């Protein structure tokens, strides 16, 4: 199996199951306790584990209502009304692991296995660019075929594909953990975020769903992955847990513990947290002992928002459209849209609202096209953004944290959101979406207080519209 000399300098199994369980068993908190924790979080201070546990133990509906309201407020204060959009691109589903919940697992003989060739990657990317996407996350099974060189080559390929005004400006990846050398190789290819989910932080459950004789069966190798990534130069990292494998409260504490560990040892917390909910998948007969209902799902999103005020939160198309729209306000900063998770799906299935379950990892809840999602966001008053400026101007890791302060949004995020939205409206939007977008841009411009910035944004909007200029950012 994995040799320990490949682990990071800070390799440590910092998840203490007994301690986390005890924090969850302390009994219902007094309302004042809950309000004190909310107040701390509204001052934008990250919460400690015992404070998050107070929010998790609150069962009174009114108190939970206060938690929801606070999460909405914090989201508005830190992120404004922006929602960043991206799409997943599945590259290959060969896998040596046997994760009980995933249809890519090696023992699933019904899965149609496939790896996109470089030419096929190019066709998928063109199809995504034709719809208006600028940010992708590449997804891989774990297999010797998908080593760091292969992943790096695929990332370079994606960046190289340009069609019309289309280009991909940020390529994130979700792939199996690597050693330091592997992370160096993918960093050099220009990846944005390296994302990896622990799936479950609960040791016994982890061993149950990840057989011991598989690479993924090694809990510490996975928990340590982001330490190695950071040591190899990737300072933009995403964590996540697959909700439904174990008690959702425990997983929230696991995510917060992970976040605090990275902050303490590397000076940077995760850039994003994901909270996928277990979905039905081909050949998966997992008895769902810990289903998370919609109400608890909303609670966990709100509590995560309050616990890690400056961490982006990703809500995927696993969830139904109506629920996604409701949860957006609770603190989500990024969503995928127009997603196809069949390998080759962007050209072979397109925007048809059907799924080819034998070719994909799990069922999606939201099959709307990017244009439709954009229109809904705009009509609900959100500013959909394709901005990739922070990562391209070096505002990542520690520097991103420094910038994630009030004023930053007004100076950078909102103007960049407006400019990337204007590009989208001009190049890709349907008539209805374009009208909704132009209305929103007018409203957003009225909010810009700094006259200097306002003038610059107006100038750049003119350049986009009249001179056909693209990729103008602050
Ligand atoms: N193979 C790599 C790994 O396991 O880290 C990366 C990609 S895996 C294809 C992406 C994520 O999909 C997993 O980390 C897991 O959380 C999620 N996933 C797997 N099966 C799922 C299911 N049935 N429902 C929802 N999400 C699932
Ligand atoms: Fe393979 Fe990842 Fe699916 Fe596990 S979750 S079977 S590692 S693709």
Among candidate residues 90, 87, 191, 92, the one with its CA nearest the CA of residue 130: 87
Among protein residues, the one with the nearest Cα to ligand 1's atom 1 is 141
What pLDDT score was predicted for residue 404? 57
CA of 62 to the centre of ligand 1 (A): 35
What pLDDT score was predicted for residue 405? 59
Could you tell me the CA-to-CA distances from 162 to 123, 124, 190, 421 in Å, in that order? 11, 12, 17, 19
pLDDT tens digit sequence for 359-413: 666 778 999 999 999 999 999 999 999 988 877 887 766 666 545 555 666 777 8
CA of 367 to the centre of ligand 1 (A): 18
Residue spans of the chain under pLDDT 70: 1-4, 350-361, 396-409
CA of 143 to the centre of ligand 2 (A): 10
- Measured from the alpha carbon of residue 240, the closest ligand is 1
* Mutation to probe ligand 1, out of 196, 198, 242 (largest number of atoms < 8 A from CB): 242
**Which residue do the tokens 């409260």 mark?**
249
Among protein residues, the one with the nearest Cα to ligand 1's atom 6 is 175
Dump strand ranges (E) for 383-464. Answer: 383-385
CA of 283 to the centre of ligand 1 (A): 14
- Measured from the alpha carbon of residue 104, the closest ligand is 2
Domain 5-15+79-368 has CATH 3.20.20.70: yes
CB 190 within 8 A of CB 155: yes
What pLDDT score was predicted for residue 231? 97
What pLDDT score was predicted for residue 281? 86
Phi, psi of 120 (to 5 degrees): -65, -35
* Mutation to probe ligand 2, out of 88, 151, 215, 216 (largest number of atoms < 8 A from CB): 216
Which DSSP symbol is given to 357? Answer: G
CA of 265 to the centre of ligand 1 (A): 27
Q: Rounded to an integer, what distance in angstroms lies between the CA atom of residue 51 and that of residue 472?
A: 42
Question: Looking at ligand 2, which atom is closest to the CA of residue 105?
Answer: 6
DSSP of 137-169:
EEEE---GGG-HHHHHHHHHHHHH-EETTEE--
Phi, psi of 40 (to 5 degrees): -60, -45
CA of 178 to the centre of ligand 1 (A): 17
Tell me, using a 6 A CB cutoff, whether residue 174 lines ligand 1: yes
Q: Rounded to an integer, what distance in angstroms lies between the CA atom of residue 231 and that of residue 226?
A: 8
Question: Looking at ligand 1, which atom is closest to the CA of residue 196?
Answer: 5
What pLDDT score was predicted for residue 394? 76
Among protein residues, the one with the nearest Cα to ligand 1's atom 4 is 176
- Measured from the alpha carbon of residue 90, the closest ligand is 1
CA of 111 to the centre of ligand 2 (A): 12
Ligand 2 first shell, C-beta below 6 A: 95, 97, 99, 102, 104-105, 141-142, 216
């Amino acid at each position: 199996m994995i040799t320990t000399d490949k682990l990071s300098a800070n390799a440590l199994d910092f998840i203490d199951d007994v301690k986390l369980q005890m924090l969850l068993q302390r009994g219902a908190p007094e309302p004042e306790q809950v309000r004190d924790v909310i107040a701390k979080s509204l001052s934008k201070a990250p919460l400690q584990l015992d404070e998050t546990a107070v929010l998790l133990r609150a069962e009174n509906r009114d108190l939970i209502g206060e938690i929801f309201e606070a999460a909405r407020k914090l989201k508005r204060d830190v992120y404004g009304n922006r929602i960043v959009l991206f799409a997943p691109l599945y590259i290959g589903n060969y896998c040596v692991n046997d994760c009980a919940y995933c249809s890519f697992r090696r023992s699933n003989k019904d899965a149609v296995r496939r790896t996109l060739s470089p030419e096929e990657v190019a066709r998928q990317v063109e199809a995504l660019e034709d719809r208006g996407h600028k940010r992708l996350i590449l997804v891989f099974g774990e297999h010797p075929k998908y080593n760091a060189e292969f992943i790096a080559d695929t990332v370079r390929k994606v960046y190289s594909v340009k069609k019309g005004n289309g280009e991909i400006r940020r390529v994130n990846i979700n792939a199996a953990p690597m050693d330091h050398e592997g992370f160096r190789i993918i960093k050099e290819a220009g990846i944005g975020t390296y994302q990896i989910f622990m799936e479950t932080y609960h040791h016994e459950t982890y061993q149950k769903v990840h057989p011991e004789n598989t690479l993924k069966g090694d809990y510490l190798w996975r928990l340590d992955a982001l330490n190695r990534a950071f040591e190899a130069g990737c300072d933009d990292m995403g964590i996540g847990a697959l909700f439904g494998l174990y008690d959702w409260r425990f997983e929230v504490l696991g995510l917060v513990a992970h976040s605090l560990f990275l902050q303490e040892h590397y000076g940077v917390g995760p850039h994003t947290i994901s909270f996928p909910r277990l979905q039905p998948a081909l050949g998966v007969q997992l008895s769902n002992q810990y289903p998370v209902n919609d109400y608890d799902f909303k609670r966990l999103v709100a509590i995560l928002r309050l616990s890690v005020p400056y961490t982006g939160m990703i809500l995927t198309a696993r969830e139904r459209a109506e629920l996604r729209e409701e949860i957006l306000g609770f603190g989500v900063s990024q969503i995928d849209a127009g997603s196809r998770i069949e390998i080759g799906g962007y050209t072979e299935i397109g925007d048809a609202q059907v799924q080819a379950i034998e070719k994909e990892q799990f069922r999606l809840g939201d099959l709307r096209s990017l244009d439709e999602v954009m229109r809904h966001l705009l009509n609900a008053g959100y500013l959909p953004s394709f901005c990739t400026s922070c990562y391209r101007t070096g505002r990542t890791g520690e520097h991103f944290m420094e910038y994630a302060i009030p004023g930053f949004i007004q100076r950078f995020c909102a103007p960049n959101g407006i400019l990337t939205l204007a590009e989208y409206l001009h190049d890709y939007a349907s008539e209805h979406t374009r009208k909704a977008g132009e209305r929103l841009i007018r409203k957003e411009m009225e909010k810009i207080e700094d006259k200097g910035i306002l003038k610059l944004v107006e100038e750049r909007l003119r350049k986009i519209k009249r001179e056909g200029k693209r990729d103008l950012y602050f």
